[in-house]
Structure 1
């Protein structure tokens, strides 16, 4: 069966109105007869027939006015997944379950615009799911999702230099484990901006601007979607067509590739929502909503992006945002779900109703990455004791064989010890860890030793509480569990290493500060000297000149004022001697 693809000039006449403007045009019998006579002069274009699909889910509530865009958040148990909707007219964001029940309402001071989600963003040493939307006052708003409650938690805002944010999408560079936000300005020049999202160090997200460019020939742009698997960004110039770019900001002014132009196969302005359906072997679909004729266009995900079919959804018109998921969600949506905006309401359609290929096993956005997501295990048997009556130094001990995982993912790369005043309570959660003061750190070799002496002479006296955490190479951080934090109690003799050892400084390369750890063996104090040399063998600086007790010591080296380059640090302790190389960055 084939369908007539109506030239753009007649598309709005065929429907009798333009939904976007709300302007209804009525025609007499003679007008319609004349229109059909003209229409027959145009050739037909064969594609699969237009379909009007039934809906199986309605998202609406008493506070909803115009739910312009939405995104799926896939729960580890897919049946607990949610749909997060931005309502630009109500100045609210709603979180719905798969039955259409409102779980959360977030009130805002301005219009929320397009909204998107990504998974496994590294924030404060933990992998979290993030939700981002633009706001009409030029702000980006960041949230994390609490898996246990399915609710959104604030993770910062950022005031951009854009006049007003319109469209937005997120992109995850799976190769380098970098996350980006791309936004369009609410103006006709088609300006796009891309930021890398980074950990701000306080539980919030900080964007860093990477590039600014114009979408195609310029023009209002709202619909955007990024293909994380192929590193492709798709953008909808509303009156011109759909373009694609390299999603990685390798080029400051990337060249556009036109995917489909307005007028091709009947595609009519305004092109609004874009979304992707993932399938194996880079198969799947790019879906677009043509707001001007309330029709959805389906293109192949692989170039040259041939038109597959068009369809409409019962009771749905003037659509802005759309989204689709291939994940088998529950008994109602076993094959996935397509959802579309329709003013105050959004409607869901069982994916199998679309008549497209189905692949529910290949893609799950929660684990669609090669990045190490396994955090090290909690450190065991951590203990801190004074090694002198005044408490100016302490001995920290732990199980140096703990905290590893499978030796590939989750293995220890380095560790850190922090302290806080005893009156603050134990460092047994992330907030307490963030507020605590760094005391010492070291590399994997130092962690394996299971002991170190920490100089606390620069801090006020009094009992202190300590905690230890490890990090792997991907930046994942171990949890704070019983055994990884302690109350400083009593007096104990110094832990004495049984051999002399100079460790590699950490971090290395560095600028301007790094830590150097070393062991002094025996039972008597030794004269200790540490000096810094350049590559010509010239002594640049004396770092340590003192008599020190046996034990594990940590020295913080501040290289401020030195030129970048390779240096050597040499340690002498009695008859013992060792040298290591370090690299100071510009």
Structure 2
């Protein structure tokens, strides 16, 4: 069972109303196509993918590959030959073309010893034009949760053998852990977002720590022979307990010793604002340099619902809902991405994993990131399904050749239609960004 499902099965938030999203598929070839904007049972419009990647399987036969988080790299010289770089956890990285065809697979590194945790790539983001000792380069940056490190891959679209080349400094330190014993406990580098400070030109990675509320700011540093390392600038701990309007205190019900973690993150490059999804709490907005006070801009519906952990069942029994939660997000809050438009216009998109929808917020912070609507990524045909239990998302609002002249949205599908017996599968869906903007701008 994929890890995200195991985690959610331990947190039973019975008071949330989760709607099963069903789609009526054409009965035969030539039947009337599905309406692009047809609303579901929740009233939200649907957009349909144009393509999907081959299914990934999280078992030994499938290479322990579990799709998680995508990033979109635009080839400025030939936009139609742009790439999607995506994490597959123990399966490493996958690189896809705009037809969703795999063109490279990069293995995650092994642990230092046979009994140590193996490499496990969790989230990925891009840095453009980083100045290395060998010249400027675009990089894919990934959090290696298995080894508690960041890893760096130079992007060369036409390089023989594949576009990604590992340029990680061999001496990069653990992000959070003091040693290998602590790394093996896997409270390690988890969520990831990159940021280049326009005032200084310096590039950074924001990295969250698994099963804690901590976020670290790491400055990216060029090393010898074109390699990349990093140093920790500062850390910030988000709250794990919350004062409710009735004067009581609430902490999300999790396994003993766990705190409500952050995974999905994105930085608005125009103003240096970081958005961070605390999975069982909501979406935070803060300065990307981790100074100042974070602000919770929206909460999950389950916010404030008490829970009692049962060690025998490893589940939380939910109590009565006091009504302090939000209206648009069902835990977990997962993938965050931006759709920038001119000036401060555009959207922050969040994956509402608990009800298989996506919520859109105004990108303009002066208006408090107001909610602008939502949508689902639904099945396009009997063979091309939608996105469920989405972990990660990435959008690029720029022309990408003939296939996506208005930009692209890529979302993880945590419940891919199996293509090999009854094996559980994951993958990624490619959606025309114009379809998303159409439903949000209506």
Q: Which TM-score applies when normalising by structure 2?
A: 0.68
- Matching residue within 42, 52, 60 for 1:58: 52
Partner in structure 2 of residue 516 of structure 1: none
More strand per residue: 1
Task: Give the superposition deviation at 1:66.
Answer: 2.0
Cα distance in 2, alignment partners of residues 155 and 235 from structure 1: 27
Cα distance in 2, alignment partners of residues 213 and 66 from structure 1: 29
Q: Is the 8 A contact 1:55 1:349 kept in 2?
A: yes
Q: Higher RCO, 1 or 2 (CA under 8 Å, sep at least 6)?
A: 2
Question: Residue deviations 1:155-183, cap 9 Å, x none?
Answer: 11523234312111111111210000111
Task: Give the superposition deviation at 1:83.
Answer: 0.2
Q: Is the 8 A contact 1:282 1:301 kept in 2?
A: yes
Cα distance in 2, alignment partners of residues 229 and 125 from structure 1: 28
Partner in structure 1 of residue 297 of structure 2: 259
Q: Is the 8 A contact 2:141 2:150 kept in 1?
A: yes
Residue 350, structure 1, aligned to residue 439, structure 2: no
The 5 Å alignment of 1:66-77 reads: 66-76=66-76, 77=78
Q: Which moved more, 1:56-65 or 1:342-351?
A: 56-65
Residue 268 of structure 1 aligns to a residue whose secondary structure is coil
Task: Give the superposition deviation at 1:147.
Answer: 3.8
Residue 86, structure 1, aligned to residue 87, structure 2: yes
Cα distance in 2, alignment partners of residues 51 and 58 from structure 1: 20
Partner in structure 1 of residue 121 of structure 2: 112
The answer for unaligned runs of 5 or more in structure 1 is 1-6, 18-47, 360-586
Q: Is the 8 A contact 1:223 1:236 kept in 2?
A: yes
The answer for unaligned runs of 5 or more in structure 2 is 1-12, 23-41, 57-61, 111-118, 178-186, 241-258, 302-325, 379-385, 415-425
The 5 Å alignment of 1:282-301 reads: 282-301=344-363
Task: Give the superposition deviation at 1:10.
Answer: 3.6
Q: Which moved more, 1:99-108 or 1:160-169?
A: 160-169
Partner in structure 2 of residue 168 of structure 1: 192
Partner in structure 1 of residue 35 of structure 2: none
Partner in structure 1 of residue 156 of structure 2: 146
- Matching residue within 389, 398, 402 for 1:331: 402
Task: Give the superposition deviation at 1:302.
Answer: 0.5
Task: Give the superposition deviation at 1:332.
Answer: 2.2
Larger Rg: 1
Q: Is the 8 A contact 1:238 1:269 kept in 2?
A: yes
The 5 Å alignment of 1:45-444 reads: 49-60=43-54, 63=62, 65-76=65-76, 77-88=78-89, 90-108=90-108, 109=110, 110-124=119-133, 126-136=135-145, 137-149=147-159, 151-157=163-169, 158=172, 159-162=174-177, 163-187=187-211, 189-217=212-240, 219-249=260-290, 251=291, 254-263=292-301, 264-303=326-365, 304-314=368-378, 315-343=386-414, 344-356=426-438
Cα distance in 2, alignment partners of residues 154 and 332 from structure 1: 29
**Matched pairs, number:** 317
Partner in structure 1 of residue 39 of structure 2: none
Cα distance in 1, alignment partners of residues 14 and 218 from structure 2: 36
Residue 343 of structure 2 aligns to a residue whose secondary structure is helix
Cα distance in 2, alignment partners of residues 310 and 8 from structure 1: 23
Question: Residue deviations 1:104-135, cap 9 Å, x none?
Answer: 11011321110000101000152110111111
Cα distance in 2, alignment partners of residues 284 and 16 from structure 1: 27
Q: Is the 8 A contact 1:352 1:358 kept in 2?
A: no
Task: Give the superposition deviation at 1:203.
Answer: 1.4
Partner in structure 2 of residue 569 of structure 1: none
Task: Give the superposition deviation at 1:357.
Answer: 8.6
Q: Call closer, same or farther: CA 1:331–1:213 in 2, change over 3 Å.
A: same
Question: Residue deviations 1:129-158, cap 9 Å, x none?
Answer: 011111122111111111433611111152
Q: Is the 8 A contact 1:238 1:271 kept in 2?
A: yes
Cα distance in 2, alignment partners of residues 293 and 196 from structure 1: 36
Q: Is the 8 A contact 2:123 2:190 kept in 1?
A: yes
Cα distance in 2, alignment partners of residues 203 and 312 from structure 1: 42
Question: Residue deviations 1:492-514, cap 9 Å, x none?
Answer: xxxxxxxxxxxxxxxxxxxxxxx
Q: Is the 8 A contact 2:21 2:356 kept in 1?
A: no
Question: Residue deviations 1:524-571, cap 9 Å, x none?
Answer: xxxxxxxxxxxxxxxxxxxxxxxxxxxxxxxxxxxxxxxxxxxxxxxx
Cα distance in 2, alignment partners of residues 172 and 358 from structure 1: 28
Task: Give the superposition deviation at 1:293.
Answer: 0.8
RMSD: 2.4
